[in-house]
Structure 1
Amino acid sequence: MPGAVAHPLIVPLPRLLPPAGHAVRWAALSQLRAAWSGGRLDLVMPSGECLRLGGPGPAEACARVHDDRLFLRLLLRGEMGGGESFVAGEWSSDDLIGVLRAVLRGTSTRGIESPLTRLAQLPALLRHRAAANSPSGSLRNVHAHYDLGNAFYRLFLDPETLAYSCAYWPDPAMTLAEAQHAKLDRLCDQLALAPSDHLLEIGCGWGGMAIHAARTRGCRVTAITISREQHQLATERVAAAGLADRVAVHYRDYRDLDGTFDKIVSIEMIEAVGYDYLPGFFQTCARVLRPGGRLALQSITMPDDRFDAYRRRVDWMQTYIFPGSCIPSVAAIRRAAATARLEIIDAIDIGPSYAPTLRAWRVRFLAALPAVRALGFDAPFVRTWLMYLAFSEAAFVERMLGDHQLLLTRS
């Protein structure tokens, strides 16, 4: 593991000889302990020595440190460095969720940041700013994540809906597919979809919502995406479902929309719009929505009190998973929607359902690792995705994030 090849954006660091390694370890642990406010987290070193973060009592989780470069990355790059170190194979855990939850609690969601880490993250911040979601920027950003291949996503998403968004679990005994259908049904109910409606879906993924709405509510659907892979498979799935006469899937940017629609739905696409483009997104929606129409929006949401600080920085997820992304707060959505004279009239936070959704994806991903590798994805890619799925699950378990279904109409 210590010699593993890392992600190309991760800066290689020289191996630390014992005196330097011990000094860096002491500095990083001192910084962590000074800010730690949670329970006990054990760090087991290659020698077998167990280092403790937090107070007495049984450990909440345990991480195995394979290389002291973990501590150097923490000092230089904070939370982002911790994620990069995992991808580089410098630490691991049999309970990755437990470790990440302990870190989130121990640092009170502040992370492990300092003036030095913010300076070291400046190149990543500049890359993030350069990845703004202009029409061409959106194409690059969507391609980077969603065009990894339909065969890859089919390995861990439920095969019925291929929904890549928070499911809704009113009954914990539901399967992933049942919970995804429950989510789609709730959105259809919010919209009060009827057979006479023409529904627009912005960011249709692999066609799950479009197929569900046409099949269960009898409406016409126009669905758009700017992922070539999604467009191809969504079109095939619509035809296979016998719904080509009611569902049209177009390769199109939301800014290029024309026509008028009775209802609009967009499921966890707004995070890819970008903060500066939020007013324009809602102005497009208002322009194509008929008078009296409804817009249903599902979005991961940042707590209002953390949003301003979040949007001015860059994190591991924006660097390695979702380039150009920005998770909005409900207040940010409300303000941007108001510029288009749209107002929120109904809201529910289904965020507690995201942890079981992510857990189901992670279990399926782990079970499919031989198939993931057969598709040509290497060990650093696998560790990147394990960190992505695990950190997201931990964040939702700890209620660091929400996931709102919002209904908007003209004010």
Structure 2
Amino acid sequence: MMTAEDWNSFARGAVALTAENVGRFTKGLPLKAKLALRGLLQMQHGALAIELPDGRKALIRGSVEGPQAAVRLNNWNLASRAMNSGTIGVAETYMDGDWQSPDITAFLELFLINSESADRHFNGKQGIMRVVERVRHWMNANTRKGSKRNISAHYDLGNDFYKQWLDPTMTYSSALYSTGANDLQSAQNAKYRALAEATGIRPGDHVLEIGCGWGGFAEFAASEMRCKVTGLTISREQLAFAQERIRKAGLSDRVDLRFQDYRDEKGLYDRIVSIEMFEAVGEKYWPAYFSKLRECLKPGGKAGLQIITIKPEAFDQYRSNPDFIQKYVFPGGMLPTPDHLAELGRKVELSIVKDFGFGLDYARTLAEWRERFWNVWERVRPLGFDDRFKRLWEFYLFYCEAGFRAKNIDVRQVVFSRS
């Protein structure tokens, strides 16, 4: 993270751009550079120091306090690609080495906080690439076949890959630090306990876990809450790891893990848990997911969901313009707003009884994952990953952290009850 002193040092000698002097400053620059710098004058929040490809520096300040960010441009590709393709263009130019920043999280947070004013300025300039990405996203629909393909694209990178930088619980979802946990493993277990207790899991309950991952929650619930767990996954890599984990823990009599789509489940359960799986369901299938919750819950039962949500005022733009995450990381995914969750529950007579947000804990989790990923990169590379993948993965972690810090997205534990 860049300190105020570091930022001041970077910005030293920069020309403060205004509507009056931007024409003189950009004289002789490519058209895309002129458009980008004029567009940045619409920035309302924070401050951005830019080192141009010719070595000159520019400073743009918004009227509202916000992140102080800095970026060094090796060429003008970032300018044109961000205008044409949004976050996909920002990500791809980073992967190509077209720009650097001493604090990428701050730069992306600034980008996200000011995205509404930028979208207004560049409306109509996005062109064909936005349409192409929209069609690509629609083609990744989460049908039964599409779901397996989309999940495999992310989770079947290999258990060895994830083992290198996740904590020993092999948990790939937000940890919960606000209960007092100081390290990642303790914070992940705190998250499991908080969700189990909020959902009211009792000894002897039969719990359905939709999207059981590498088996972390199933092991926790069976051993700590003394319940029976049926877990579903459509990742063969995760299933093999989780089944072996449960066997080694001596919990095979309490835990049944299956390679199965949630839509095919017919059982009846006391409790249902699903941790950051709903984001991969796809908007078209949200009603079917909630109908399945209702169908599989006993009367009086509860479903505890941990879900990443997007703020309501950003949803329409996000829905219309697939972002970097949807193209490169979670194809077919879609984040709901909190209002979507409440409405989906109401339609199947599931009422929200608890709702707890902890987005800044996710920002901390992502920063921890990034440090761990960097520290083990020389062990990851021999698994078949190149430097471009490294830049993709670190951008993914930076981008998500920035989203939580900018409060564009949040993570929530929401408990639904069937009356």
TM-score calculated relative to the size of structure 1: 0.90
Aligned partner of 1:245 in structure 2 is: 253
Aligned partner of 1:14 in structure 2 is: none
| Contact 1:38 1:107 (8 Å CA) reproduced | no
Larger CA deviation: 394-403 vs 268-277: 394-403
Matched, 1:353 2:371: no
1:113 and 1:26, CA in 2 relative to 1: closer, same or farther beyond 3 A? closer
Matched letter for residue 58 of structure 2? L
Aligned partner of 2:162 in structure 1 is: 153
Matched, 1:225 2:233: yes
Residue from 378, 387, 392 that aligns with 1:379:
387
| Contact 1:21 1:69 (8 Å CA) reproduced | no
Matched, 1:216 2:245: no
Matched, 1:24 2:32: yes
Aligned partner of 2:342 in structure 1 is: 334
Once the two structures are TM-superposed, the CA of residue 307 in structure 1 deviates from its matched residue by 2.3
The within-5 A match list for 1:10-409 is: 22-33=30-41, 35-54=42-61, 60-107=68-115, 113-117=122-126, 119-159=128-168, 161-171=169-179, 174-409=182-417
| CA offset digits 1:197-236 (Å, max 9, x no partner) | 0111000110000000001011110001001111011111
User: For the aligned residues, what is the CA RMSD?
Assistant: 2.2
Once the two structures are TM-superposed, the CA of residue 80 in structure 1 deviates from its matched residue by 2.5
1:65 and 1:110, CA in 2 relative to 1: closer, same or farther beyond 3 A? closer
Once the two structures are TM-superposed, the CA of residue 171 in structure 1 deviates from its matched residue by 4.6
Distance 1:91 1:255 in 2: 44
Matched letter for residue 351 of structure 2? E
Matched letter for residue 158 of structure 1? D
| Contact 2:355 2:412 (8 Å CA) reproduced | yes
Q: Give secondary structure in 2 for the equivalent of 1:392.
A: helix
Distance 1:172 1:102 in 2: 29
1:304 and 1:72, CA in 2 relative to 1: closer, same or farther beyond 3 A? closer
1:80 and 1:32, CA in 2 relative to 1: closer, same or farther beyond 3 A? farther
1:21 and 1:223, CA in 2 relative to 1: closer, same or farther beyond 3 A? farther
Q: Give secondary structure in 2 for the equivalent of 1:283.
A: helix
Distance 2:390 2:264 in 1: 36
Distance 1:391 1:58 in 2: 17
| CA offset digits 1:285-328 (Å, max 9, x no partner) | 11121111111011001112332332233111111111100001
Once the two structures are TM-superposed, the CA of residue 127 in structure 1 deviates from its matched residue by 0.8
Larger CA deviation: 108-117 vs 137-146: 108-117
Distance 1:183 1:65 in 2: 40
Distance 2:189 2:365 in 1: 13
Q: Give secondary structure in 2 for the equivalent of 1:154.
A: helix
Q: Give secondary structure in 1 for the equivalent of 2:46.
A: coil
Once the two structures are TM-superposed, the CA of residue 46 in structure 1 deviates from its matched residue by 3.7
Larger CA deviation: 290-299 vs 68-77: 68-77
Q: Give secondary structure in 1 for the equivalent of 2:340.
A: helix
Larger CA deviation: 392-401 vs 331-340: 331-340
Matched letter for residue 144 of structure 1? A
Q: Give secondary structure in 2 for the equivalent of 1:63.
A: strand
Aligned partner of 2:10 in structure 1 is: none
Matched letter for residue 198 of structure 1? H
Q: Give secondary structure in 2 for the equivalent of 1:373.
A: helix
Matched letter for residue 383 of structure 2? L
Distance 1:110 1:294 in 2: 42
Larger CA deviation: 326-335 vs 68-77: 68-77
| Contact 2:49 2:57 (8 Å CA) reproduced | yes
Larger CA deviation: 378-387 vs 225-234: 378-387
Larger CA deviation: 276-285 vs 79-88: 79-88
| Contact 2:43 2:117 (8 Å CA) reproduced | no
Aligned partner of 2:17 in structure 1 is: none
Distance 1:259 1:268 in 2: 22
Once the two structures are TM-superposed, the CA of residue 408 in structure 1 deviates from its matched residue by 0.6
Once the two structures are TM-superposed, the CA of residue 73 in structure 1 deviates from its matched residue by 1.2
Structure 1 alignment gaps of length 5 or more: 1-18
Once the two structures are TM-superposed, the CA of residue 77 in structure 1 deviates from its matched residue by 2.0
Distance 2:341 2:66 in 1: 42
1:338 and 1:94, CA in 2 relative to 1: closer, same or farther beyond 3 A? same
Distance 1:171 1:191 in 2: 17
Matched letter for residue 253 of structure 2? D
Aligned length in residues = 392
Structure 2 alignment gaps of length 5 or more: 1-26
Q: Identity over aligned residues, as a percent?
A: 39
Q: Give secondary structure in 2 for the equivalent of 1:280.
A: helix
| Contact 2:273 2:305 (8 Å CA) reproduced | yes
| Contact 1:302 1:327 (8 Å CA) reproduced | yes
Once the two structures are TM-superposed, the CA of residue 124 in structure 1 deviates from its matched residue by 0.8
Distance 1:25 1:372 in 2: 37
Matched letter for residue 321 of structure 1? V
Matched letter for residue 299 of structure 1? I
Matched letter for residue 128 of structure 1? H
Q: Give secondary structure in 1 for the equivalent of 2:267.
A: coil
Once the two structures are TM-superposed, the CA of residue 172 in structure 1 deviates from its matched residue by 5.6
